[in-house]
Chain A
Amino acid sequence: DQQVKQNSPSLSVQEGRISILNCDYTNSMFDYFLWYKKYPAEGPTFLISISSIKDKNEDGRFTVFLNKSAKHLSLHIVPSQPGDSAVYFCAARGDYNQGGKLIFGQGTELSVKP
């Protein structure tokens, strides 16, 4: 049972345009959401996060939106740059009663073309 799903395995955008990566979850008890970025042959690195009490969080070119009623999370990158090409994972944290596990989606590979 995949609790966190990224239904798009890949996404290709032109440099300077907006990249939108999507993530859906099934567990309404998740209380914290994160995005990680992964380059080949490296471990994932933290990018941006959002608490379930908010609906938007911005950090420079990166904005995460949370729609709790739809159980949907998205990451917007504006403007996209070639260096943003990587695999992006969304992750969700269960509440204390669930042991606080961090559950990841399948990942979306973003390719930004010059």
Chain B
Amino acid sequence: NAGVTQTPKFQVLKTGQSMTLQCAQDMNHEYMSWYRQDPGMGLRLIHYSVGAGITDQGEVPNGYNVSRSTTEDFPLRLLSAAPSQTSVYFCATGTGPRVLTFGAGSRLTVL
């Protein structure tokens, strides 16, 4: 039982490049979300989904896209990376926005 799997664990991008952070869960959770962690800022919600086909914006959605075509997967897309998007990204899932199970994180550096 893998829980929440995030890939890749580390990534270095150049400004303007695009990439997708993958998140997969095997717990059949309806609720999935993406957070970024920055020093002094804590965990900030980027986007979340309450079920397949349903997504909504969090606190800091600009520069990121998401989609939810299946219950299991919730990819986060950066269309044109900027240095301000250098961060650690966490995918989190749950039966609702309460007790969440987090992935191990993806560390992204944008040069």
How many residues of B sit at the interface, in one of the four size bands? 20 to 34
Contact partners of B66 in chain A: CB under 8 A: none
Are B99's CB and A43's CB within 8 A?
no
Instruction: State whether B97 touches A100 (Cβ < 8 A).
Output: yes
A42 proximal to B (CB < 8 A): yes
Q: Indicate which residue in A32, A41, A99, A104 contacts B43 across the interface (CB closer than 8 Å).
A: A104
Which chain B residues lie closer than 8 Å to A93 at the CB level? 97-98
Given contacts A42-B104, A43-B103, A44-B90, contact A106 B42 (CB under 8 A): yes
B22 CB → nearest A CB, Å: 15
A104 touches B97 (CB 8 A): no
- Residue ranges of A at the interface with B (Cβ–Cβ < 8 Å): 4, 6, 9, 32, 34, 41-46, 49, 89, 91, 93, 99-107
- Report B's interface with A, CB cutoff 8 A: 4, 33, 35, 40-45, 48, 50, 56, 58-59, 90, 92, 96-105
5 A-B pairs with the lowest CB-CB distances in the bound complex, closest first: A43-B102, A106-B42, A104-B43, A102-B97, A100-B97
